[in-house]
Amino acid sequence: MSSTATPSSTTGITQSSIDSFHAHLSQSTRIVALLGAGLSASSGLPTFRGAGGLWRTHDATSLATPEAFGRDPAFVWQFYSYRRHMALNAKPNAAHYALAELSRQKPAFLTLSQNVDGLSPRAGHPAQQLQLLHGSLYDVKCFDQRGCGYIERNNFTDPIVPSLAIPQGGQDPTASAEQLEIDSSDQVATGTDTNPLIQGLDISDDKHALPSIPLHDLPRCPRCKHQLLRPGIVWFGEALPSQTLAEIDTFIKKPGTTIDLMLVIGTSSAVWPAAGYTEIARNRGARVAVINMDPESGRGLEADDWFFCGDAAEIVPELLRPVIGDVDEIMGQYEE
């Protein structure tokens, strides 16, 4: 490993490791990046993995299955409506913009994102150089894919239906009078609920009661008319899109080429098949650079790899500076 640092800062990353990375980046043509939820953490979005990965009292990953949706579609939709709301109120951070600019400067740079929050596209990341492995929060599809097959892309309506609106302070339709008084006191004391990305009550906290939503008020498929729409992301137990995998495979294994550099940013690479791309790239000649807040993410790297421990929003722009220039100038041009 080329560097060590505390998880909360870039302190301890040596200049020699940065210089070594810069030298290799300047000579690299074919580059692959694998992005995880840690990239968006600096934008205020929770990772829902590891410690604190709960939504209300539920393991968030347990809600990301077809079975969970089949049992309680209203609750699962409330979880995803909350995530859509948060992501729409978040802004891409400096790392998103830096990677988007690297794509413009390096035509043979392909980004594989496990994130569904839409922040990379909003940072101007070229669509032809961005593969969304797990889909997008803003895609919806019929729950009956074998029969109906309806899919809608880029639905940014918030809320997607009125019944899924984030309850406003003092207006929680199921809260008791006592709870409303508590909520009102909290907001007076803090000036907000708990998360600045939530315009209303932060329903991830189970102190706020959830409205009971009947099935007929949930998003319904406009084609078949009788099935519910579901979030169009890839849930646990489902296969990644075959076209996406084929396009990635074509790029990485292009005959007569190698991979020069593999960037692994904000992900533990624990979920397959995404977890295998680092070794595939390494087997095709890539040196690997890992950027992560978790010091344990640096384990298992080879002697000529790099590990930069800290906030991706701080580290990535600095690592890419020789190619992209000043990220503040880029953000000024593209930020919404």
C-beta of residue 135 within 8 angstroms of C-beta of residue 241: yes
Instruction: Tell which residue, 8, 25, 99, 14, has the closest CA to residue 307.
Output: 14
The tokens for 244 are: 């996406």
Residues in the chain: 336
Distance CA 313, CA 97 (A): 9
Residue 290 has phi, psi (to 5 degrees) of -105, 130
Catalytic pick from 134, 208, 216, 226? 134
- The tally of CA atoms less than 13 A away on the side-chain side of residue 135 is 23
Beta strands in the chain (DSSP E): 31-35, 54-55, 58-59, 109-113, 130-132, 140-142, 151-152, 229-231, 261-265, 287-292, 306-309
C-beta of residue 104 within 8 angstroms of C-beta of residue 129: no
Active site residue 134: yes
Task: Please report, for residues 155, 159, 279, the alpha-carbon distance to residue 152 in angstroms, rounded to integers and kept in the order given.
Answer: 7, 16, 34
Residues designated as active site: 134
